[in-house]
Amino acid sequence: MALLDFIAGTGQLDEAEDYFINQLDHAPMAIAHFTSHEEAEAWMKSVAEPPSPVRILIGDAYYQFWYTREDNTRGMYREYCIEPALEALTARGIPPRTPSFATRVEAEEWLMSHPANPYAFVAIAGEHYFAVHHPRLKRHSLHHVASALKDWEERKRAVELDTALEAAAPSDGADE
């Protein structure tokens, strides 16, 4: 109830309703965009009681930001929330007729007048990118397809390894 009161009290009912009704039509929501880790960390330290947990974008990568009120600790970690969608979409093949641009600036200019809904593939200098529309931030993030899929595979392998190591670790007897 407190959350609903907060949403109503801050005049965000329309945004909350839009999020719940249309969440499948939007990319994972990020509340802010920063060009560098340093810029994100400066913001993280400057806000007295930041929202938590929330996603932010640093460059074109998603990060999960968290804050613990009890001891005022804050942190962020890389979050792989767009990569599963990218993996599923590329499994069917990248559409053959993707808009093609010589530079990122050209692609960004085109995307401003032809926003991805919520995703689109574009080619920049012969390389495929996954454009993700962030309407609330008034921008697109551009994810290099080959690099993003490689990073996602590495992340999945790391999680599998951690899971296997945890399962193989000897029990301390507390569960017995």
What pLDDT is attached to residue 107? 96
Q: What are the domain boundaries of the chain?
A: 26-79, 81-167
What pLDDT is attached to residue 143? 94
What pLDDT is attached to residue 171? 67
Encode the chain (176 residues) as per-residue pLDDT tens digits.
777 788 888 888 887 777 666 555 667 889 899 999 999 999 988 888 877 888 999 999 999 998 888 888 888 999 998 888 888 888 888 988 899 999 999 999 999 999 888 889 999 999 999 999 998 899 999 999 999 889 888 888 998 988 888 888 876 655 54
What pLDDT is attached to residue 174? 55
Q: For the chain, what is the HEC assignment?
A: CHHHHHHHHCCCHHHHHHHHHHHHHCCCCCCCEECCHHHHHHHHHHCCCCCCCEEEEECCEEEEEEEECCCCEEEEEECCCCHHHHHHHHHCCCCCCCCEECCHHHHHHHHHHCCCCCEEEEEECCEEEEEEEECCCCEEEEEEHHHHHHHHHHHHHHHHHHHHHHHHCCCCCCCC
